[in-house]
Structure 1
Amino acid sequence: MGYIDRNIAPIIDDGALTDAYSQAIASAVDQVGPAVSRIEQLGARAGHGSGFAVSPDGLIVTNNHVVGDAHGVRITTPDGFVTEGRVLGRDVDTDIALIRANSSVGAWAKLGDSKRLRRGHIAIAIGNPLGFEWTVTAGIISALGRTMRAQSGRLMDDVIQTDAALNPGNSGGPLISSSGEVIGVNTAVIHGAQSIAFAIASNTANFVISEILRYGHVRRAFIGIAGDTIELPRRIALQAGTRQLTSVRVRRVEPGGPADRGGLKEGDFVLAINGKPVGGVDDIVRLMDGDKIGHDTELQIYSLAGKVETRTVVPAARA
């Protein structure tokens, strides 16, 4: 009988791994790339940006700072088709704008579930940086649930950090997964820093799109917290009687704001809002809609005292 040395590591074919990685990226780009457009303002000298269609009838997502104050834009698809479109609505708090093309732009992309993302997942960016049209870059998800300041000065929640290279002109383009789903809307880079770029998570973008289509703007309740999406420690989940794997830990409470008046503290975990589970910052964005403005809203939290408690806040309208 032969002897097997179990201390010998299995031989890994680096070439096969590299080829699989390349094929995954190429396949994802083939799926989403045709839906990505170059976006230019009409009647303005501003620069250009990127956008991507999310429906077969020419509904296009981009950044608010790409369209600026313009009412109309020029849309150019990868196959050279040019059409115009109008801005349906915009949200400065998430830097998202929604465009309706005057005609179908052909291909469209699917918005994925950003809550399923994990650090280390492949992230692929497609856009038109610095005039180099339909450029593809790839990297990984570096962090989730970040908060950063928009050009308006307000804080944007539920931001994805990635090391996929972004440059001016990438703004508004899609950040996609290896399965070919849009997981974010590329929005910003930190100038002078390497491998640090940001995208608005797809779940937040989906919420903004729905609000604009229904109301022409985003109705948003404000409670005055900044938080991070984190893994929920098992002991807290057991004590709270929940199967949630993630939650939101409060990082900052605005003095005098609704959350402060309701007794929330930095370090609290937000587990549920009016009985609906909170597994990430995107859930707070979605659940704090306009219907809650001026009404008692119950937040189930795990407090710094080590207890599962309920706090009542009265959200205000976001000015």
Structure 2
Amino acid sequence: MGFIDKDIVPVDDGALMDAYSQSIASAVDIVGPAVSRIERVGGRAGHGSGFAVSPDGLIVTNNHVVDDAKVVRIATPDGFVTEGRVLGRDVDTDIALIRANSSVGAWARLGDSKRLRRGHIAIAIGNPLGFEWTVTAGIVSALGRSMRSASGRLMDDVIQTDAALNPGNSGGPLVSSNGEVIGVNTAVIQGAQSIAFAVASNTANFVISEILRYGRVRRAFIGIAGDTIELPRRIALEAGTAQTTSVRVRRVEPGGPAERGGLRDGDYILAIDGKPVGGVDDIVRLMDGDKIGHNTELLVFSVAGRIEKKTLLPIARP
């Protein structure tokens, strides 16, 4: 016969469920009012979701939502309708930036996607009807993915989640339990079944900055696909770094700058020109237009089992 430990407090499943529900409801209350329905004006018909990221009407959505439209119609959850101009688009990340003709009221804050961990709560919010939100919730399943979009382009720094995307939710925010936007939901990944994907907020922030400054995203190309992974401690000690994460090269494009520079599948990228690489978003950020045509030094832990320096000559993104 067993004994019951009187010091063990039984878990109240109902209380846990209430706390989970309350965290989701609170996050939706914070971000939901910033989420709008986006419709193309002129050209081919289409619609999706978007969300304001500033009080003066800057709205983020998917590139495939706006497509080739120059002007879009914006409908907020409270029924306000206005138009906006497409400031710029980035096919590689499926992100577009819109400037509304007038303030749309509420706006959401972009969080730091590098702080995400597998298992964190992820909440997808959309406004497919223009008058009400749809909300789905799940967990972050994987981080820092490089995946092929339906257009055939490689998308970097992708978050995988099981928070289902309803029709029309594409372009809406993926939200953390504390009410910060951690990604931009996208529905253009090939083979997505019972899983959903979002472009990480740090990459979205980079794209927004590039569009605001240059009207487009200037991007250097080295020809790799990689994943954000935990950096084995023995490698960190050998490299003399305090990093806990890095990027492991999954595929090197034949004939590209990475292959010509000696990078191989399975190499860990630790730094670019002396700046630490803790994830795919760092590569996206560091490989900007200024790197095009200039020798760039990568610090790697190679598949040969040693720390090496590789010199690459990035080209403009094809």
TM-score (norm 2): 0.96
Is 1:30–2:26 an aligned residue pair?
no
Equivalent residue pairs, number: 316
Preserved contact between residue 145 and residue 281 of structure 1 (Cα < 8 Å): yes
Matched, 1:84 2:75: no
In 1, Cα distance between the equivalents of 2:274 and 2:47? 44
Report the CA distance between 1:133 and its aligned residue. Answer: 4.0
Q: Which amino acid aligns with 2:58?
A: L
For residues 148-181 of structure 1, the C-alpha deviation after alignment (integer angstroms, 9 at most, x for no partner) is 2224321001000000010331110000000100
Aligned residue in 2 for 1:74: 73
Assess if the C-alpha contact under 8 Å between 1:124 and 1:178 holds in 2: yes
Deviates more, 1:244-253 or 1:144-153: 144-153
Is the Cα–Cα contact under 8 Å of residues 224 and 259 in structure 1 kept in the other structure? yes
What secondary structure sits across from 2:78 in the alignment?
coil
| 2:275 equivalent to 1:276 | yes
Using the aligned pairs only, state the percent identity.
84
Greater Cα offset, 122-131 or 15-24: 122-131
Q: Is the Cα contact below 8 Å between 1:32 and 1:109 reproduced in 2?
A: yes
Q: Hey, what's the Cα distance between the residues in 2 that align with 1:180 and 1:261? A: 44
Structure 1: which 5+ residue stretches go unaligned?
Answer: none
How far the C-alpha of 1:40 sits from its partner, in A, is 0.2
Q: Deviations over 1:106-135 (max 9, x none)?
A: 100000011111111000000034888410
For residue 17 of structure 1, what is the aligned residue in structure 2? 16
Residue 8 of structure 1, CA deviation: 7.2
Partner SS state of residue 217, structure 1: coil
Q: Using the TM superposition, give the Cα deviation of residue 145 of structure 1 relative to its aligned residue in structure 2, in angstroms.
A: 1.1
Sort the Cα spacing of 1:71 and 1:158 in 2 relative to 1 into closer, same or farther, 3 A. same
Map 1:92-107; keep pairs closer than 5 Å.
Answer: 92-107=91-106
Structure 1 distance, partners of 2:37, 2:153, is 27
Counterpart CA distance in 2 for 1:305 and 1:162 is: 34
Deviation at 1:5, TM superposition (A): 5.5
18-27 or 8-17: bigger deviation: 8-17
Alpha-carbon shift at residue 44 of structure 1 (Å):
3.7
Query: Quick check: 1:190–1:196 contact (8 Å CA) kept in 2?
Result: no
Shift of 1:269: 0.2
Any residues of structure 2 matched to 1:173-192 within 5 Å, and which? 173-188=172-187
- Bigger shift: 152-161 or 101-110? 152-161
Distance of 1:298 and 1:95 partners within structure 2: 29
**Distance of 1:156 and 1:253 partners within structure 2:** 15
Asked if 1:162 is matched to 2:154, the reply is: no
The question of 1:263 aligning with 2:262 is answered yes
1:251 corresponds in structure 2 to 250
Alignment of 1:93-132 (within 5 A): 93-129=92-128
Structure 2 segments unaligned to the other structure (5+ residues):
none
TM-score scaled by length of structure 1:
0.95
Q: Give the aligned residue type for 1:67.
A: V
Report the AA paired with residue 78 of structure 1: P
Contact residue 249 and residue 267 of structure 1 kept, 8 A: yes
What code does the residue aligned with 2:169 have? N
Residue equivalent to 1:232: 231
Deviates more, 1:140-149 or 1:6-15: 6-15
Quick one: which amino acid aligns to residue 74 of structure 2? I
Identify the range of structure 1 (42-51 vs 24-33) with the bigger mean alpha-carbon deviation: 42-51
Corresponding letter in the other structure for 2:180: E
Please say if 1:294 is aligned against 2:299. Answer: no
AA aligned to 1:308 is I
Q: Which residue type is aligned with residue 239 of structure 1?
A: E
Q: Deviation of residue 47 (structure 1)?
A: 2.5
Q: Partner letter of residue 211 of structure 1?
A: E
Alpha-carbon RMSD: 1.7
Alpha-carbon deviation of 1:302? 0.4
Q: What letter matches 1:221 in structure 2?
A: A
Secondary structure of the 1:312 match is: strand
CA deviation after TM superposition for structure 1 residue 241, in Å: 0.5
**Contact 1:84–1:102, Cα closer than 8 Å, also in 2:** yes
